[in-house]
């Protein structure tokens, strides 16, 4: 499926006419028609607006079903403020800017068992992520710190969900507040530069286009980190909620 067909399909799923979508994006009906028939392509600014309207990722909108479902392969490395600034400048020149946002993540665990322990790496988490007007429930289960199973769904009533958590014996254990700037790099990776309140500066690199198995892709991430002159000894294997709780 090409870009035009994806725009048409997502517009239909949102029950929007071409005219209604055009009004949302402040373009003409002819522009929408031209995109959907692949006579022309939207620019990056319009791609971002389309992704927000359709509530899908920019990467999916541009490239289609290249994201590996229900699995995530990434590394996170703590960096100095100077390195953070230089990485941001490098990405501005060599990568595709996606967005910059303030993100608040609330982490939960069952009262009858622990997701986090102060003497072990994090293995799983349950999180409500606040992304502007959207709230996303996310569960991850890690495998050897290299990749994880990941499942998420958008929620429309955080208050009721919190009540359900309380009934089921889920307790809030940490809140992570971060400013994130995201880039798409080398037609394959999502690079997030995070300033996390009370924790400092981090770079997170995630595979968005899989060409090999997850374990091999993790090795490729390590090689990429070295090319970016990142210290592999500083890879964070515990996650932000761990550091918030045990700092």
Predicted TM-score of the model (pTM): 0.70
Give the model's pLDDT for residue 143: 65
pLDDT in tens, 171-216: 999 999 999 999 999 999 999 999 999 999 999 999 988 887 777 7
What stretch of H or E contains 56?
Answer: none
Q: How many CB atoms lie within 10 A of CB 170?
A: 17
The span from the first CA to the last CA of the chain, in angstroms, equals: 47
What is the CATH T-level fold of the domain 3-63, as seen in this structure? 434 Repressor (Amino-terminal Domain) (1.10.260)
Residue 139 Ramachandran class (φ > 0 left, ψ -120 to 50 alpha, else beta) = beta
Which part of the chain has CATH 1.10.260.40? 3-63
**Could you state, in chain order, the average pLDDT of each consecutive group of 10 residues for the chain (247 residues)?**
86 92 94 93 86 80 60 90 98 96 93 71 83 88 71 90 91 95 96 97 93 80 95 89 87
Query: How far, in Å, CA of 245 to CA of 86, rounded?
Result: 29
Give the model's pLDDT for residue 176: 97
Give the model's pLDDT for residue 224: 97
Which part of the chain has CATH 2.40.320.10? 71-241
CATH superfamily of 71-241: Hypothetical Protein Pfu-838710-001 (2.40.320.10)
Give the model's pLDDT for residue 67: 47
Spell out the residues 6+ positions from residue 135 whose beta carbon is closer than 8 angstroms to its own: 128, 129, 154, 155, 156, 158
């Amino acid at each position: 499926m090409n870009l035009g067909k994806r725009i048409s399909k997502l517009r239909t799923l949102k029950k929007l006419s071409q005219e209604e979508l055009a009004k949302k994006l402040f373009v003409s009906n002819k522009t929408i028609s031209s995109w959907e028939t692949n006579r022309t392509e939207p620019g990056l600014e319009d791609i971002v607006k389309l992704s927000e309207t359709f509530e899908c990722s920019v990467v999916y909108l541009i490239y289609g079903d290249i994201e590996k479902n229900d699995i995530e392969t990434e590394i996170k490395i703590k960096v100095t403020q100077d390195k953070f600034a230089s990485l941001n400048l490098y990405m501005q020149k060599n990568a595709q800017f996606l967005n910059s946002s303030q993100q608040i993540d609330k982490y939960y665990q069952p009262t009858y068992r622990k997701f986090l322990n102060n003497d072990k790496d994090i293995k799983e988490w349950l999180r409500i992520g606040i992304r502007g007007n959207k709230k996303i429930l996310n569960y991850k289960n890690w495998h050897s710190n290299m990749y994880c199973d990941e499942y998420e769904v958008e929620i429309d009533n955080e208050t009721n969900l919190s009540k359900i958590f309380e009934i089921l014996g889920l307790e809030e254990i940490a809140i992570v507040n971060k400013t994130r700037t995201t880039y798409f790099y080398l037609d394959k990776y999502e690079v997030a530069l995070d300033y996390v309140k009370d924790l400092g500066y981090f770079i997170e690199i995630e595979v968005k286009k899989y060409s090999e198995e997850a374990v091999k892709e993790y090795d490729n991430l390590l090689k990429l980190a070295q090319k970016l002159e990142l210290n592999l000894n500083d890879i964070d294997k515990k996650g932000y909620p761990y550091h918030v709780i045990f700092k």
